[in-house]
Each structure stands twice: as C-alpha cells, then as structure tokens.
Structure 1
C-alpha cells in the first residue's frame, strides 16, 4: 500500500472511531491533514472573533515546514494510536 493509500484509509478510519477523540487529538489530526493536503499555512491568523478559525490555524501552523509526505505519515501514525485508544 502506498503512503497516499494509507493516508486516505486513515482519513476514513478517523471518521468511524467508536468514541470521539478529545480536542487536542482532533487538533493534531486537523493540523496534519491540512499540512498533508495543502502544505504550509498560507494566510494570517484569523481575527479575534473567529474562534474556530483561530483554533484551526493554531493546529496547522506548528506543522509548517513538514513535507506533505511527512505529514501524511504522521497522520497515519496518529490515527493508529487513536484506533488503539478508542477502537474502530
């Protein structure tokens, strides 16, 4: 299985975990997903009233500089941990 195929499988598996992961775990997945699919964050941090946008930006910005392949591999590894913790 290629990295791309493993990544796409992990994305699907992350949607069917038996329990919803915590906020920190979801933020980690979001940041890795965006880095995997878009690359480095390409806009300024959203304004003070955009709470959700700020949380998403804050999850994505630490991944800046990771290659898409590194982010995909990290995403797959993170989903594997969540599968062990929450079941699928």
Structure 2
C-alpha cells in the first residue's frame, strides 16, 4: 500500500480512538489531517469568541511548514501511538 492508502486507513482508525483521548492529541491529529489533505492554512483565523475553531486553526497553522507527505506520515505515527496507549490503558 502507498502512503495515501495508509493515511486513509489510519484516518478511519482515528475515529475509533476512545473518548479519553486528550484534546491536545485531537488537535494535533486535526492539524496534521488538514495539512495532509488541504495543505497550508487557507482561511483567516477565527475570532476570539470561537475558541474551538481558533484552537483547531492554530493547530493546523503549526504544521504549515510540513509537506503533505510529511503530515501524512506524522498523522499515521500519532494515530498508531494513541491506539497503542489506548490498548495499554484497557489491558
């Protein structure tokens, strides 16, 4: 399988992460996913009353220097890590 197929597989696996996954980890996944699928941020930063949207935008912006391929790789690594942590926590 190629990188894109692996990425799509792990994007599906990410949906199975437990509710206990931290917001910080979710934001990292969001930012990497957007960078991998869209590329650099192409919207203006949300206003101060949109705390969640602003946090998501900031996460995406933090990965702006990565290529789409780097973002895909990092996303896969992060999902694997979170799945392993979840499995260890439930063992």
TM-score (norm 1): 0.92
Query: Could you tell me which residue of structure 1 aligns to residue 40 of structure 2?
Result: 40
Query: Could you tell me which residue of structure 1 aligns to residue 52 of structure 2?
Result: 52
Shift of 1:20: 3.5
- Aligned pairs, number: 87
Shift of 1:27: 0.5
- Hey, what's the Cα distance between the residues in 1 that align with 2:20 and 2:82? 10
Matched residue SS, 1:60:
helix
Matches within 5 A, 1:1-88: 1-87=1-87
Shift of 1:32: 0.1
**Structure 1 residues without counterparts, runs of 5 or longer:** none
Matched residue SS, 1:85:
helix
Q: CA RMSD in A?
A: 1.1
